[in-house]
Amino acid sequence: MPFYVQLASQVRNAVAANALKRGQPMPSVRKLAASLGINRNTVVRAYQELEEDGTVNAAPGRGTYIAGKVPRFLKSERLRRLQPYARQIAVEGTQLGFTDEEIVKAVKEELERLLVRT
Amino acid sequence: MPFYVQLASQVRNAVAANALKRGQPMPSVRKLAASLGINRNTVVRAYQELEEDGTVNAAPGRGTYIAGKVPRFLKSERLRRLQPYARQIAVEGTQLGFTDEEIVKAVKEELERLLVRT
Amino acid sequence: MPFYVQLASQVRNAVAANALKRGQPMPSVRKLAASLGINRNTVVRAYQELEEDGTVNAAPGRGTYIAGKVPRFLKSERLRRLQPYARQIAVEGTQLGFTDEEIVKAVKEELERLLVRT
Amino acid sequence: MPFYVQLASQVRNAVAANALKRGQPMPSVRKLAASLGINRNTVVRAYQELEEDGTVNAAPGRGTYIAGKVPRFLKSERLRRLQPYARQIAVEGTQLGFTDEEIVKAVKEELERLLVRT
DNA sequence: GTGGTCTAGACCACC
DNA sequence: GTGGTCTAGACCACG
C-alpha cells in the first residue's frame, strides 16, 4: 500500500475511533513529514485526500484541522470499513486450504502480537 | 489489481471450488486472450503464475492443464502467506477502535457468508 | 536461458558472494536496461523475480535495494528447489554408466572448485 | 527439457556406457513412439539429432542402426558429459545456502531413490 | 525520477 | 497448433 493512503487511512481511523477530536489541529506538513521520516509531498497527498474526504479542513497559512461536522463514525460506518478486510482474509484463507478455525486462530494470534508490541 | 493477478486468482478459486477439475485442459493462451479481449502476454503471465504455484502444468506444444496431484504448499509456507492478511485486519480493526472479539466476530461472519455462496 | 533469468541469477550470485551488500541500491530499471542494451521490461522481469524470492526490495518511486534481512526460505522449501538438480545428475550419471561413488566424487570436485574461485 | 532432446540424450548415454553396441538396430520410429506413448514426430526429431551426431546411421527402408565407428566413449569423454551436471548442482546448491555435505547428501539420496525404482 | 502494467507485434522451439 | 521470450512504446501511481 502507498504511504499516503496508509497515512490518510490511519488518520481517518483515529477520527473514527474518536482518538482525534473535532476542531483539533493536525501537525504541520513539515513536522509530520520530519517525524515520520518521509517526503513532504507524501504528507501533502495524504492531507489532500483527507480534505476531499471532509475529514479535515485546511486553510493556507492557518494549518489543518479535524473537521467539526464529521466527528466519529457510527458503529455501522466503522463496520463497513472493517468488512473488506474480513472478507479478504476469509477468501484468501479458504483458498489456501485453511479451515475456518485455523483462520480465526491466525487472526487471534496477530491481535495478541499487536498487544505485545504496544 | 493487475489483470494477470486477477485472472490467476480466479482460476485458483475455480480449482479450489472444483469447477475446474484435475487434468482438465485450460483454453490456449491465444484463445483465452481473444475471448477476454486482452493481450496474449497478459494471459501468459497469469498462466506462469499458476504454474509457479503448482496449480497448472504447461509446456510449449502440449498446452496447459490443471495440475493432477495438486501438491500444494507445506503448511508452514501456507501460513506465511496467510499471515499478512491476519496482520492487516488486526491493525486496521484495532485502529478503528474495535475490540478483539468484534474483529474475530467480523471474520467469522465473512467465513459463513462464503459457505452460503458455495 | 532467458535473459531475465540469467540476470536475476547473476544478481543472486553477486549477493551470495557479498559483492553486492545489504541495503545497497540497485541501478534503476531504465539505466540497467540502457547499459545492457536490452528492453526495460526484461529488466523489470528480472527484478520481480528477485523480489519474489526476497533477494531485493522494490517499490515505485523509491527504487530497488538489496534486501537487508535476507529472510531466506525455510529449509524444506530450499530442499524442494535443490532436489531437481540432484535428480538430474543422478539420472544422467547412472545412464552414463558411472557408479554412485564416481558421481558423488564429481560433485565434490565441483564444490571444491567453487571454493577455490571464491 | 524437450522430449526429443531427452530421448537422444538417453540413447547417446546408453551408447557411451556400452549398453547399446555397434551395428545394433534401433527400434523403428513407430514402435518406439508407441512404446513410449509419445508422438512419432518427436521420435523422428531425436533420430535426426542422433544421425547428425554420428551416433546412428539411418537409411530409408532399412532402419536405423548404432553407428559402427563411434563405439563407447572413453572415460574422459563420459566425464566431460557428467561435469556440467555436477557444476550445476554445486552452483545452485551453494547459492541456496546449503553446505557441501548437504548437497552431497541430496545427491546420494537421489541415487538411492533410483535404485529403488529399478 | 522510480517500479509496474498493458498492448502490439515479432520470433522461437516444441508437438 | 502450443507456451515462452523479447522489443517497442504507451500509461499509471508513487516520491
Cell matching residue B16: 479450489
Nearest to D93 among C82, C90, C96 (CB): C82
Examine the pLDDT at A83 and tell me if it is beyond 80. yes
DSSP string, A27-96: PPHHHHHHHHTS-HHHHHHHHHHHHHHTSEEEETTTEEEE-SS--SPPHHHHHHHHHHHHHHHHHHHHHT
Q: What percent of chain D has pLDDT over 90?
A: 20
pLDDT digits (tens, 9 = 90+) for D21-32: 778 888 888 888
Residues on chain C touching B77 (C-beta within 8 angstroms): 74, 76-77
CA of B2 and C1' of F13: distance in angstroms? 13
The pLDDT of residue C73: 67
**C26 CB inside 7 Å of strand E:** yes
The pLDDT of residue C97: 81
Q: Who contacts A7 (Cβ-Cβ below 8 Å, separation ≥6)?
A: A36, A42, A43, A46
The pLDDT of residue A77: 77
Most B CBs within 10 Å, among C41, C74, C81, to test the B interface: C74
The cell 487434468 sits on which residue? B23
Helical packing angle, B75-95 and B100-117, nearest 10°? 120
> Which of B87, B82, B9 is closest to A101 using CA atoms?
B82
Contact A33, A39 (CB under 8 A): yes
The pLDDT of residue D63: 83
DSSP string, chain B: --HHHHHHHHHHHHHHTTSS-TTPBPPPHHHHHHHHTS-HHHHHHHHHHHHHTTSEEEETTTEEEE-SS-----HHHHHHHHHHHHHHHHHHHHHTT--HHHHHHHHHHHHHHHHHH-
Q: What percent of chain B has pLDDT over 70?
A: 92
**pLDDT < 50 positions in chain C:** none
Q: Please give the nucleotide, over all strands, whose C1' is closest to the CA of residue D42.
A: E15
Cβ neighbours of B34 (radius 10 Å):
13
Q: Which residue has the higher pLDDT, B52 or D62?
A: B52
Q: What DSSP element (H or E) covers C55?
A: none
pLDDT digits (tens, 9 = 90+) for C37-47: 999 999 999 99
B-C contacts at Cβ under 8 angstroms: 8
Q: CB-based contact (8 Å) between A92 and chain B?
A: yes
How far is Cα A16 from Cα B73, in angstroms, rounded to an integer?
39
Examine the pLDDT at D71 and tell me if it is beyond 70. no
Q: CB-based contact (8 Å) between C74 and chain B?
A: yes
E strand segments, C5-89: 56-59, 63-66
The whole-number average pLDDT for the span A48-66 is: 83
Q: CB-based contact (8 Å) between C75 and chain B?
A: no
How far is Cα A64 from Cα A61, in angstroms, rounded to an integer?
9
Q: Please give the nucleotide, over all strands, whose C1' is closest to the CA of residue C42.
A: F6
Reduced to 3 states (helix: H, G, I; strand: E, B; else coil), residue D20 is coil
Nearest residue of chain C to residue D93 (CA atoms): C82
Task: Out of A54-63, B24-33, C86-95, pick the least confident.
Answer: A54-63
Task: Out of B43-47, C61-65, D64-68, pick the least confident.
Answer: D64-68
Helical packing angle, C75-95 and B75-95, nearest 10°? 160
Cell matching residue A113: 502480537
The whole-number average pLDDT for the span B6-13 is: 89
The pLDDT of residue B51: 94
Cell matching residue B116: 452460503
Instruction: For chain B, give the number of residues.
Output: 118
> Which of A60, A68, A61 is closest to A24 using CA atoms?
A68
pLDDT digits (tens, 9 = 90+) for B76-92: 778 888 888 998 899 88
pLDDT digits (tens, 9 = 90+) for A4-44: 988 888 888 777 777 777 788 888 888 888 888 888 889 99
Mean model confidence pLDDT for chain D: 84
Q: Which residue has the higher pLDDT, A12 or B3?
A: B3
Q: Who contacts C83 (Cβ-Cβ below 8 Å, separation ≥6)?
A: D106, D110
The whole-number average pLDDT for the span D12-20 is: 77
pLDDT digits (tens, 9 = 90+) for D78-118: 888 899 899 989 988 887 788 999 999 999 999 998 877 55
Q: How far is CA A116 from CA A113, B52, D105, in A?
A: 5, 36, 42
Examine the pLDDT at A118 and tell me if it is beyond 60. no
Q: What DSSP element (H or E) covers D24?
A: none
Task: Out of B61-75, C34-48, D42-56, pick the least confident.
Answer: B61-75
> Which of D67, D80, D62, D69 is closest to D11 using CA atoms?
D67
E strand segments, chain C: 56-59, 63-66
